[in-house]
A and B are shown apart, each in its own frame.
Chain A
């Protein structure tokens, strides 16, 4: 009933689905579960290693490493994908800021500094490069709640201070609420949707702030209108407020997923979560159907175009076992991967160049069509995107989300216009 299928509902699959929807297709997105988005910080990390211009670093990468997924997307493709992504977020009143001129450094929940190119405006005041002289200024205030596990403001503050960024961490008192035996990030986000809850927190922040001009809070400041919640807390506290990504489940990830889902559905697309694609079936060099897990029997999905965005070793698109086998989970496509277990890892655990197994993935041609070991196209109507692609170690290169967006977008465009 739908002639275009996207496999995977992470950033890459949803960006691909958006591109297909923009082109007038009505994609069906099949995914095993809800993962990647809620596991990630919600920032767009384009190339974390770049000290100067990311644009220049990408240009160099594309020239020197033509097999890298970014080279498949192309410099213009990367920028177009980011522009489309930002336009979508802008339209949902959840704007992203940043640039390809330089990385900013955002604090993690542990107080480490993490480079990012684009980030929600709700995190903007957390740029630790802001105002150079800021480090000599008043210390930052980090605040949290005892009830929110895995977020320890004093520890994060101490770690920042140790890196030359004076900071102080405090715990707030949970405003009186009707209930709550157990707390998680989603529960807090719902609480921050309530203006009365924010009033109380804002008053506490004003009292605790001292001479701090910037206050970091866990990234749980609402699901409905986080930008409005941040503005409200700023007005109440008299300081700039910024969100610090938490451990999973990530509220910024939930916001992203919701915004994508609404845009895709509005354009006529459909998301089917809980439907793991188990295998595919092809004829004459084209994929004709995929089969997803369902009650009592597999569900058959016939289509003309397919986008594979199931992730890599970390995301579940590539699996390995103790015998040294590696395989692609959805369609059984050939992998470009180190031969046996002996070749998976470099001798040093913290090897600067990473470990070969994390570069495992599907080799493609410039049209992102999957290739076999001999370099022949396996299915001409399939494009691959995101961490399922070979040739990159996206976590070490700090380009997971940037590469996901760029290749997802490019794959969607290739499918809708070039294949």
Chain B
């Protein structure tokens, strides 16, 4: 691995560890399993024994879920999660990428193949206990883990259709991109990510409608998977080409100062920080795209700060539990969804104090980690069930699936609630 700037700063960050163990006390994974000794041990401590060209001294780092609670609570600023993810990548470099990591890392291919007319068949297969058992035995993907349902239409096909029906007014956007509400002075690029495209197009539909209610022309640029599933499975080389592709697609918009907005907190985090930090990509283009990318509620909150948010909300008389997912917390932005939704009359959201839902990207899909993920999330499942609501709210798709799986509640993206408030 190259000795780039970030690796140096990571190494320096481990020297800030004062061994206070606050991270270990906050770690939701070591709280429920013996297999992960805790962030201090595999992070700053283990890092001292990791030498280039030497075998990994500590494979228990594989049990780090990457939730970043350690980063959040560390009083001295050690980047524990990044140390751990790099250590995982070193193991992959040493042993090669296992089939399962390949499948989870490239899961968007399943979306490409199964989303659309084949969705009912694919969903039947994905929910077939016998088939899931076979998959668990062969590639060790947990048979009970909450796989999302493929949508019968993709977000992009919906958007294309919608643009066509507004055909007479369609704006000409280069590079095969599409846009709506032409003629608006203000433009934004929507980064939908794989899950909105293949599983939850309704989230993207809500986002488009909310942005249009605020007077924006929405451009859906060409885009690929952000590469986070590859990154968290240690497939750094493969993740790099994904990030390069997205930067290339998004750069022209960033150069024109058009904000890039996402509803998936993990995709936006990857574009803003994770990919460049973990892969050591610090080119101007990468930075420019990162600095122009926003979580959708972060963006709406900035609008509100400038007095430009359309706050013509109808009352929504509901009380619902809300969970701020790990990937949103890693943006270090506080609770933008709560800040905006508290402007909606009648709406009451109560925030969970749970550290993590457990699933953490692709972690909880791994057969040997399924139960750990469920144990990590147990407190959160209790919290949402105790609310008495039939719906919970969470910004991140994977967490929504896990919370629904663990609690039985329906779980929505906050943008769906906001769209509802616009009537």
Binding site for B on A (CB under 8 A): 1, 28, 32-36, 38-39, 179-182, 184-187, 190, 248-249, 254, 261, 265, 270, 272-276, 292-297, 299-300, 302, 316
Q: Check A295/B24 contact, CB under 8 A, given A182-B37, A187-B31.
A: no
Whether B333 sits at the interface, judged by CB under 8 Å, is yes
Partner of B273 from A32, A184, A295 at Cβ < 8 Å: A295
Instruction: Name 23 interchain pairs, CB-CB below 8 A, sorted by A.
Output: A1-B301, A33-B74, A33-B77, A34-B22, A34-B73, A35-B75, A38-B25, A179-B34, A181-B35, A181-B37, A182-B30, A182-B34, A182-B37, A186-B25, A186-B31, A190-B31, A248-B21, A249-B22, A270-B334, A274-B329, A294-B332, A299-B333, A316-B75
Interface flags, B286-321, vs A, CB<8A=1, else 0? 000011010000000100110000000000000000
* Contacting residues, chain A, for B334 (C-beta < 8 A): 28, 270, 272, 275, 299
Closest B residue to A249 by beta carbon equals B25
In angstroms, Cα B31 to Cα A32, docked, is 23
* Chain A residues with CB below 8 A from B331, complex form: 294-295
Asked if A248 and B22 make an inter-chain contact with CB atoms under 8 angstroms apart, the answer reads yes
- CB neighbours (8 Å) of B34 from chain A are 179-182
Interface: B33 (CB within 8 A): yes
Provide the B59-78 mask, 1 if CB < 8 A to any CB of A, else 0. Answer: 00000000000011111110
7 more A-B contacts (CB under 8 A) besides A33-B72, A299-B334? A33-B74, A34-B26, A34-B73, A34-B75, A185-B25, A273-B73, A274-B332
Closest to B338 in A: A270
CB distance from A187 to the nearest CB of B (A): 7
Residues of A within 8 A of B330 (CB): 295
Interface residue? B20 (CB, 8 A): yes
Is B382 part of the contact surface with A, judged by Cβ < 8 Å?
A: no
Asked whether, in the complex, the Cβ of B75 is within 8 Å of the Cβ of A1, the reply is no
A-B contact count (CB 8 A): 101
Contacts A249-B21, A274-B71, A276-B77 given: A296-B291 contact, CB under 8 Å?
yes
Complex CA distance for A180 and B329, rounded to whole angstroms = 29
Please name all residues of chain A whose beta carbon is closer than 8 Å to the beta carbon of B305 when the two chains form the complex: 1, 300, 302
Which chain B residue has the least Cβ–Cβ distance from A35?
B75
A187 to B38, CA, bound (A): 11
Chain A nearest Cβ from B184, distance in angstroms: 25
A301 to B, closest residue via Cβ? B334
A10 — nearest CB in chain B belongs to which residue?
B75
State whether A248 touches B20 (Cβ < 8 A). yes
Complex: chain A residue closest to B289, CB-CB: A296
Q: Which residues of A contact B339 (CB under 8 A)?
A: 1
B residues in contact with A1, CB < 8 Å: 301, 304-305, 339
The residues of B that contact A276 with a CB separation of less than 8 Å are 77
CB–CB A293/B22 < 8 A: no
Query: Given A1-B304, A296-B272, are A32 and B75 neighbors across the interface (CB < 8 Å)?
Result: yes
CB-nearest residue of chain A relative to B271? A296
- A38→B22 contact, CB < 8 A: yes
| Closest chain B CB from A306 CB (angstroms) | 16
CB of B186, distance to nearest CB on chain A (Å): 20
- In the complex, what's the smallest C-beta–C-beta distance from A59 to chain B, in angstroms? 35
- Asked if A295 and B25 sit within 8 Å, CB to CB, the answer is no
What residues of A have a CB within 8 angstroms of the CB of B333 in the complex? 294-295, 299
Residues of B contacting A38 in the complex (Cβ-Cβ under 8 angstroms): 20, 22, 25
In the complex, chain B residues whose CB is within 8 Å of the CB of A292: 332
Q: Which residue of A lies closest to B339 (CB)?
A: A1
Cβ of B255 under 8 Å from chain A: no
Query: Cα distance A270–B335 when bound, in Å?
Result: 9
Q: When chains A and B are docked, how far (Å) is the Cα of A300 from the Cα of B334?
A: 11
Cβ of B269 under 8 Å from chain A = yes
Q: Which residue of B lies closest to A30 (CB)?
A: B334
A184 touches B24 (CB 8 A): yes
Q: A33-B72, A184-B24 are in contact. Are A179 and B332 (CB under 8 A)?
A: no
